[in-house]
Amino acid sequence: MTAPLLLTGGLSAPAQTAAPAATLTYPETRKGDQVDDYFGTAVPDPYRWLEDDNAPETQAWVEAQNAVTFAYLEKIPGRSALRSRLTALWNYERYGAPQKRGPFYIYTRNDGLQNQAVYYRARSLDATPELLLDPNALSADGTVAVGSTTFSDDGRYMAYSLSDSGSDWLRWKVRDVA
């Protein structure tokens, strides 16, 4: 438990101590007039309009916020060197523990810098693997993520959840992988 805390502290320290002093000018955020009534109690919700992430106004607001954020982050000294070092540290092949389902061993593999691990199966631990699902290929911009996965006992079906753009909403899919 100590190592992750030290790593987190080590990563945040440069941002806290070396960040340039700057006055940030945030974009104006419109306040709506939405008020909900909960059993006779009026509860204002002026930012309800931001919940529609597909609305052009919400997308413009997010882009404006990102412009302020990234302009600030780019001014942090050593940020590029830190990014390069972390990329080098994370660039190694990783495997998930295999699970036996029917005649197959099912496992994940990440070549080092893939956003998400890829799902494979093989008839033995030293056999040539067969690709089951590459989450990195589900969207051109890499914003679709696999959440949970499970396999039927006989290894014929794969159920997995998908999340779009970091949303908490999940879509479940079932594939016949026989």
Examine residue 141 and state whether it is found in any structural domain, yes or no: yes
Residues 106 and 170 in one domain: yes
Pairing of strands 35-38, 41-44: antiparallel
Residues 99 and 69 in one domain: no
Token digits of residue 78: 């050593």
Boundaries of domain holding 105: 94-176
Token digits of residue 27: 């974009």
Angle at 99 between CA 93 and CA 102, to 5 degrees: 135
Domain count, the chain: 2
pLDDT classification of 11: cutoffs 50, 70, 90: low
Does residue 22 have a pLDDT over 80?
no
* Mean pLDDT value of segment 111-133: 94
* Per-residue pLDDT, 165: 85
d(CA 108, CA 136): 13
